[in-house]
Structure 1
Amino acid sequence: MNGEERFCPVYAAIELLQEKWTLHIIRALLEAPRGFNELARAIGGCNSATLAQRLERLVELGVIEKEVTSHMPPRTRYSLTEAGRALEDVVQAIEAWGRRYLQVPG
């Protein structure tokens, strides 16, 4: 059995998307490209080291792209690639499910 026969795209996608903060990052970038600090504020609660790690992994996988806009001071801008934008349907499906089946806290 070769590697392709053992590869399960559903398993691989779930492994990626279940990582804490990953879907929050994608959702924030669906709204607009953002700089690192702007992205941190948009998702809220994620420490800088974790955010940097998640962003690096998503760039490596081709889900988002990183553009260096300035070296002094250092500034970057993150945006979704075609693969990242394709996750919009996934995020919308999760939102629709949550609205239908989860209760509003209160």
Structure 2
Amino acid sequence: MGARGEEFCPVYFALNLLQEKWVLHIIRALLGGEKGFNELSRAVGGVNPATLSQRLEQLVALGLVEKEVESHMPPRTRYRLTPAGQELEEVIQAIDRWARKHLTPSPLPGR
């Protein structure tokens, strides 16, 4: 159900997913190819491990990311986008085009 009890609205559902903190950063990082957990954490930057793990579980459950366990001791896991996840590249490119056209970098406070 969407807002106010309406029928399922794909836009509402997609926006709720994509607005969650770190989701688009994770997708963007994985557009460059598969990554291990620590490599992905560095590529995203600033996300704590518990949050990254939670977001990855959510993206795997939704079929946007695939998880491959390479070894259990020591734990080694690789993540890659599924074809559905790769289709989000168009969304990220559209955001990039819009931002370059309409937003200007604002100076950081104190600089």
Which TM bucket (shorter chain)? over 0.9
Query: 1:104 aligns to what?
Result: 105
SS in 2 for 1:6: coil
How far 1:32 sits from its partner (Å)?
A: 1.0
Query: 2:56 aligns to what?
Result: 55
SS in 2 for 1:104: coil
Query: 2:3 aligns to what?
Result: none
Aligned-partner Cα distance in 2 for 1:80–1:74: 20
SS in 2 for 1:31: coil
TM-score scaled to structure 2, two decimals? 0.89
Structure 1 alignment gaps of length 5 or more: none
Q: Give per-residue Cα distances to partners, 1:67-94, cap 9 Å, x unaligned.
A: 0011111000000001100101000001
Is 1:11 the equivalent of 2:9?
no
Identity %: 67
Instruction: Report how many residues are paired.
Output: 102
Aligned-partner Cα distance in 1 for 2:27–2:75: 22
How far 1:53 sits from its partner (Å)?
A: 0.4
Aligned-partner Cα distance in 1 for 2:16–2:45: 22
Query: 1:41 aligns to what?
Result: 42
> Which structure carries more helix by proportion?
1
SS in 1 for 2:50: helix
